[in-house]
Structure 1
Amino acid sequence: MSGPSSHPGIKLLLLGATGLVGSHVLELALASSAVGKVIAPTRKPLPLYLANRSKLVNMLIDFDAPDRDDPLWHVDAVICALGTTIKQAGSHEAFRQVDYEYPLTLARLARTHGATVFALTSATGADPSSRFFYNRVKGDLEEALVREQFTSLTLVRPGVIGGARTEVRPAETALKLALTLFAPILPRRWQLNPAAEIAKHLLEATLSAPQGVKIVTAGEMTGKR
């Protein structure tokens, strides 16, 4: 079965377009001749200065109650970069809502309306059996997406994501600095994963649409190709 890459001008649903990784995916997708339309549901409008904005449909959405009958869910492929932190969310329950419930709900909507390809920004250590809540939620989402039986499902598992965020995360900033200083002696799997590099892998996986389930590890996304 041929993937979306054999049909120029695919219709792509991008979840998390306002985030660090998602914003990079958005720029790449709008610049790609293989992507004909980008559907980007967000709570607030995206910036007006985006290049090739004519390819963008920025639908404002209530993630707790999406319009299940909206024709915009008719897409070929989905890239999910939705995510938060437990600190930002305010509780374990709120974190799971953003990092599990929202992505799965929208994945099912897209799947029901014909999407066959899905690429997810997950995390190193994602495991439904993990003793760490964060990794357990990521693993639960991966398992749930496998059960949706997308023709092509790519699970991108970065470690520490490099890039400038709009919000301040002191602990993450300190860790990024340490990883940058010691990068020459660290194994690839422990090095920073630039947000732009993660975005490239997500879009490449979406356009090439490898059959079955594929995992992209942190070691493959250090930016050293």
Structure 2
Amino acid sequence: MHEVADAVAAARDGLATPRGRLRIAAPLLFSQLALGRIAARFLASYPEVQIEAVAEDRLVNLVDEHFDVAIRINPSKDSALVGRCFAKDRLVLAAAPSIQMPKGDRDKPFPVPAVVTPSYRDGDIWSVRNGQFTIEPRPVLRLSSLLMVRDAIVDGAGAAMLPQSIIGSLLEKGELVSWGIAGDEVELWVLHTSRRLQSPKVRAFVDFMCKQYPNGSFTIPIR
């Protein structure tokens, strides 16, 4: 019914101007790193839209909870939602230069001190370089925030698997060293509930998100 009301309002206004409240659900890390600036830029282009963004990692129900769009990482392919991939990221195994890079292999993982998140399970093995290089994490810290993990390994606590987007500048400055890329690229999508009744504000936001990352890589906006 919200989509029908938006469609009727858009038809009445000539389909020209995005307006009204736009509710956005986004993962916590993406929200902390990028969504504030993106929302401000969008508002500058579309001043008649009022943005309400909710940052949390659970999968919200767009219809039941009255969200217009959601930012999701590697969304399920059987999802009823539609949308576009606007950027990609990748996981990097990294550590401070003071941590010696091991010389393990796939058959004999090398134990190293590690900073992990709650998703880590005892016995997990980290593999990089297409499986040719493996390590056995020995957790020394368990932290719930990837930004905390980043700060901990910069200070030499151990190695960690982190998105390239949040450590790229530290790798360039030599404060962290990459031990290799892990797995496939991570896709970031902007999703909505219906292509047929897509309102001007939703259509404008989807297009705007894709223009923020013209090279397809997720990078943190420069201050």
Same fold (TM over 0.5): no
Going by fraction, where is strand more abundant, 1 or 2?
2
* Higher normalized helix content (fraction of residues): 1
Q: Under a length normalisation based on structure 1, what TM-score does the superposition of the two structures give? A: 0.28
Q: Which has the larger radius of gyration?
A: 2
- Choose between structure 1 and 2 for higher RCO, CA contacts under 8 A separated by at least 6 residues: 2
